[in-house]
Structure 1
């Protein structure tokens, strides 16, 4: 199969912006090979970030706002793709696909007792708008296929972690710290069905919201962990945070802003009244690290399972205070960053969704049931091509597969 050019787009639960990466890709599953050609990041303006945050909560969301933002984000994603192509001096006719995770505004991994109260998830950023703006086949809405097969629709990147980090001699925990933290555990010389993955709990989400509040919206995150490094970890507050019920739930499990959003931060602030702001930030940062270490000891490590390497990715890997806390809580582990494996922590998830999108287009399953809880492997993703040229490119690819 010939090498193809594709673009991956990622907008995470941190609501900080969109990462776009142009890649060259060939092969499939463990034989997948990826080369990064170029990349671009677009930070959300404050009004867009605020509007997106409103959509994540039933009390501030509305059907009209969701409909409008779905199309607006599709257009924003498309315009970013066009800027990336201009930057790389690549014509759209050279690119086979653009693959978008979309912006999650609600994720409900478990159903209720009523007949119509079934699990579901909603990512916005319309694929038809994305395809029309770029003139390229668009792939997205990955989670729903996994949930249709009984999975929780997350974590999805475990499929890519297995491709990139499986090792015959080392057991690895691949830990992403975005808005939410999630881990993929890959035993040494693992088969796919031995891979385990779940959301460990909060990543940067709680830290970011507290920094936003204490700086009166002047900062949206703790750059380089500067605020946390000036404070002290308050053990009483940390112990209280570690009592959260989610942390005791057994995998497979996923979470998001529904559990660790504004209402949760309200309770953190009320439980920390009288503490210096720096101490609050230091404590919730240490909490993220401790939830990760606690998840490993509770759910992964056993007499038959060990962790040799911990590989940290996502925005949290650029926070020195958080990395220091991780090493403190994981004293017997070698803690790496994605950069130690020649992979950008910032771009990892955008690359991952490019890989997932490509597998969808070539008709290959692109999720790991043991990670998501699904009953069987599925091909995740929906495809949109609004222009004949994009359809013809995809048809030519599929013709070459037979």
Structure 2
């Protein structure tokens, strides 16, 4: 079955579209990636999405226009990726504008902005969307949703395999080994903390909006990281929480950046960006160290994906801080780094079609497995 996956992440740089084919058993499908396309958000739309994700107040009319604009870019990405309309089903994550994990007995909630009936009408094919809602209803975090798909797409190896997505937020998947005493262990995963969210906002701050990200890690490479502040930041509450845990721009957004820059005092732009880059790597390294200490799990390899995998300074910091683990890009296993998450949502749509559960209770904290997503037919 041909499925199209659409993903617009926390970085809010645009929509990734993937056309893929799936066949065989749902838990270990035979799959092929046929095409990938990236559709950037117009700059004003990107600004609005980032502002919305940080709690900026807007009148109802602007929320409606924002939902329409996001949906239109999703449609453009789908049409560009699949001009011959081969896909029988569309899986669309939508654009997260607010995420509220469960806390102190209160149910969590999450808002992925999309006008799914409009998208289905524009593409004249069914759309599966709202992937987090069922897990949230079952008491889960609703995120991250990629771990089960990571295990199905990438498979296992002789030891624990870690998959690290470096989008706006860094999230980890831990896949059990194919043999040994841990071969029947549960898939694990969680959101570590900021990857590119603070870096991108920092670049906009220091360049007066001229640069939206640190291309090639060029600015970070010119600076010196402040290790003292990194170690202080690692003691903050979120980084001490045990999984399941999830987060987003509502926690690691502009206000958080302003606080950290104030703490860094008169640091130069290069030193501040170098510190934020090293901090993103340190968060992951600390999580891996805690996993080894508490659970006795030490991955033998760390597979990176997402936009941050293209930042050589961030990858260098990961190599320096994550001792004893081989670090490779997901393209090493046949999944292009920039296409991984869109491929996941193509798979989740196929799983919805097959009635196969997409969440992992050990990851999200939901009380049971469930099929994810809601299907909308074209009008």
TM-score (norm 2): 0.95
| Alignment match, 2:113 | 124
Give the conservation status (yes or no) of the 8 Å contact 2:90–2:346: yes
Matching of residue 57 in structure 1 with residue 54 in structure 2: yes
Which of 143, 147, 151 is equivalent to 1:162?
Answer: 151
Structure 2 unaligned runs (5+)? none
| Alignment match, 2:348 | 356
Which of 54, 66, 69 is equivalent to 1:69?
Answer: 66
Matching of residue 182 in structure 1 with residue 171 in structure 2: yes
Cα distance change, pair 300–130 in 1 and its aligned pair in 2 (3 A):
farther
Give the conservation status (yes or no) of the 8 Å contact 1:97–1:136: yes
| Alignment match, 2:224 | 232
State the distance in 1 between where 2:65 and 2:183 align: 43
Matching of residue 136 in structure 1 with residue 125 in structure 2: yes
Aligned length, in residue pairs: 376
| Alignment match, 2:20 | 23
Give the conservation status (yes or no) of the 8 Å contact 1:69–1:125: no
Cα distance change, pair 348–266 in 1 and its aligned pair in 2 (3 A):
same
TM-fit CA distance, 1:343: 1.2
Cα deviation digits, residues 354-380 of structure 1 (max 9, x gap): 000111012111111111111101000
TM-fit CA distance, 1:171: 1.0
Cα deviation digits, residues 96-130 of structure 1 (max 9, x gap): 111111100000012467xxx63211001211111
Secondary structure at 1:30 match in 2: coil
Secondary structure at 2:98 match in 1: strand
- Residue correspondence of structure 1 range 185-196 to structure 2 within 5 A: 185-189=174-178, 194-196=186-188
Secondary structure at 1:336 match in 2: strand
Secondary structure at 2:152 match in 1: helix
Matching of residue 12 in structure 1 with residue 9 in structure 2: yes
State the distance in 2 between where 1:82 and 1:266 align: 39
Which of 232, 240, 259 is equivalent to 1:248?
Answer: 240
Matching of residue 265 in structure 1 with residue 257 in structure 2: yes
Cα distance change, pair 59–82 in 1 and its aligned pair in 2 (3 A):
closer
RMSD, aligned CA: 1.7
Rg bigger for which structure? 1
Structure 1 unaligned runs (5+)? 388-402
Give the conservation status (yes or no) of the 8 Å contact 2:107–2:136: no
State the distance in 2 between where 1:43 and 1:112 align: 38
State the distance in 1 between where 2:126 and 2:293 align: 42
Give the conservation status (yes or no) of the 8 Å contact 2:12–2:50: yes
Which of 80, 84, 88 is equivalent to 1:83?
Answer: 80
TM-fit CA distance, 1:160: 0.9
Secondary structure at 1:128 match in 2: helix
Cα distance change, pair 195–9 in 1 and its aligned pair in 2 (3 A):
same
Matching of residue 342 in structure 1 with residue 334 in structure 2: yes
| Alignment match, 2:162 | 173
TM-fit CA distance, 1:143: 0.4
Which of 285, 291, 296 is equivalent to 2:288?
Answer: 296
Give the conservation status (yes or no) of the 8 Å contact 2:41–2:73: no
Cα deviation digits, residues 168-221 of structure 1 (max 9, x gap): 512111111100000011121266761111001111101110011101101100
Give the conservation status (yes or no) of the 8 Å contact 1:166–1:188: no
Secondary structure at 1:328 match in 2: helix
| Alignment match, 2:213 | 221
TM-score (norm 1): 0.90
State the distance in 2 between where 1:28 and 1:129 align: 32
State the distance in 1 between where 2:247 and 2:360 align: 18
